[in-house]
Structure 1
Amino acid sequence: MNQAAAQRHAGQDLIKWIALITMVLDHMRLVWLATSNLFVIGRLSFPFFCLALAINVSRTQPGDLFTRSNGRYLSLLVLFAALSEVCYQLISTSGNYNVLVTLALGLLVAWGAQHKTLESLVLAGGALIAAYLLNDPLMYGFYGVLLPTALLLAIRRPEYFALLPVVLCVVINARTGLWGRAVQLEPFAILALLMAALAPLLGLALFWTSVPFKVPPVRQWSYWFYPGHLLVLLGIRNWLWA
């Protein structure tokens, strides 16, 4: 068995599947307004994507930054962030960049925490500066870029850092106005923030638990899935709203 197969983790693939499925459910509200309540379950998607990223980073050898696999990982994120941006802007009204931009910056910051070399820290610092300057149009903002690193720390030392991603998930969702609505005891906002808070804990539990069934692997096709599902939803919306 090769190293990649040996390291394959059913929980990690399950995390990726949940991230993809909840992303689609969340984006359905862009097509059918009646499905807007799916926004609540959609609060799982971004934390699960960040956790999948953090798991990948945690399995790299500290100090070994410039590898072919790391280069491919970042290149794919950047490439598909660029390819997806047109699709995302056509279907979204948020004015934000697509989520792959946030994940690419988050990867650079997580590399800094994992490798602690001069090169990785320079990349992480540059990503943090970019996230700060792009806070408004960046999906989930500056704190969203920090989430993969918070999850990486939680994987390493859960006794110290398990609650850090919980706090960040609440903060990045509160900036959408949910906090003010939750204070007014609006059930929808309260449920959305609770789901956001539970998301990293649920994801970490899936990672740490032995999944008792086989999970189909999520491979590089998932990069195509992101712009692909946006195009499908855009086509459905244009057909329904014609």
Structure 2
Amino acid sequence: MSLFVLKIIGIISMFIDHYHFVIGGPEILNIIGRIAFPIFSFSLGEGYFYTGNFKKYIGRLSFFAIISQIPAYIFKLDYPMNIFFTLLFGLIIIKIFYSRKIPLLIKVILIGGLVYVAEKYNFDYGMYGILTIVLFSIFRRKKILIFCAFLGLNILLILIPDIFNLAKIQMYSMLSLIPIFSYNGKKGKNMKYFFYVFYPAHFLVLEGIKYIIDKF
């Protein structure tokens, strides 16, 4: 399974999840949606290792993070800081972690600070999201370690929910490892801007559908 196919699975499950969030529906939609974020986290790590220009990668995430947040402010929607902010901070943390120029103590301070900001300012998935991105990067291609680390993170979510501020249903995110572990190391089709544009666009579509339903 190529990275392109993985991302397609991710955006489909994300759309289903956000349909449940914006419009409603049975809980199974929310369960299906749990596989989206781990797939995006995994894809982000692969993007870091394969990108030819880290600054442009950071720039794209920053641009779409800002663009995607504008509708929430305009329409006063009750959304957290969108997922691009979480992915942006996760990418920066990966860069810090693998840097040979930054002393260990400074790394700990910088990473801790970014995690704090993500949690403090209500980034989508918050600390849990950042840790998910990091573990997929650290244990890259090591399936057993990824499974154990991700399972441990989700168990912590259940044991200390007040820290992660996520529902226990997030445990279903473990299902994301099925497609992730089927990844064949190939990029597949190059449609990166489609995935960036899809995120803000699908919210506009869902809000439009909700508006029509409420009116009629």
TM-score (norm 2): 0.80
Whether the aligned pair in 1 keeps the contact of 2:143 and 2:181 (CA below 8 Å) is no
Q: Within 5 Å, which residues of 2 pair with 1:5-154?
A: 10-59=1-50, 69-88=53-72, 90=75, 92-93=77-78, 95-118=79-102, 125-136=109-120, 137-154=122-139
Whether the aligned pair in 1 keeps the contact of 2:86 and 2:125 (CA below 8 Å) is yes
Q: Within 5 Å, which residues of 2 pair with 1:185-200?
A: 189=169, 193=171, 195-199=172-176
What is the rounded CA distance, in whole Å, between the counterparts of 2:42 and 2:60 in structure 1?
Answer: 17
Letter aligned with residue 200 of structure 2: P
Match of 1:233 in 2: 206
How far did 1:103 drift?
Answer: 0.6
What is the rounded CA distance, in whole Å, between the counterparts of 2:204 and 2:107 in structure 1?
Answer: 32
Letter aligned with residue 155 of structure 1: R
Total equivalences in the alignment? 209
Structure 2 SS opposite 1:46: helix
> Per-residue CA shift, 1:161-194, capped at 9, x if unaligned?
4421333355558545533xxxxxxxxx4xx52x
Distance 1:88 1:58, change over 3 A: same
| Mean CA deviation greater in 159-168 or 112-121 | 112-121
Higher RCO by CA contacts (8 Å cutoff, separation 6 or greater): 2
How far did 1:44 drift?
Answer: 0.5
Match of 2:149 in 1: 164
Sequence identity (%): 23
Q: Which runs of 5+ in 2 are unaligned?
A: none
How far did 1:119 drift?
Answer: 9.1
Structure 1 SS opposite 2:123: coil
Letter aligned with residue 4 of structure 2: D
> Per-residue CA shift, 1:63-104, capped at 9, x if unaligned?
xxxxx62111111111111111132454853x5211111110
Match of 1:178 in 2: 167
Q: Which runs of 5+ in 1 are unaligned?
A: 1-9, 61-67, 180-188
Structure 2 SS opposite 1:22: helix
Structure 1 SS opposite 2:53: helix
> Per-residue CA shift, 1:201-239, capped at 9, x if unaligned?
2243121488xxx96443222111111111111111111
Structure 2 SS opposite 1:207: coil
> Per-residue CA shift, 1:106-127, capped at 9, x if unaligned?
0111122334332999688535
Distance 1:152 1:134, change over 3 A: closer
Letter aligned with residue 144 of structure 1: G
Whether the aligned pair in 1 keeps the contact of 2:23 and 2:206 (CA below 8 Å) is no
Match of 1:186 in 2: none
TM-score (norm 1): 0.73
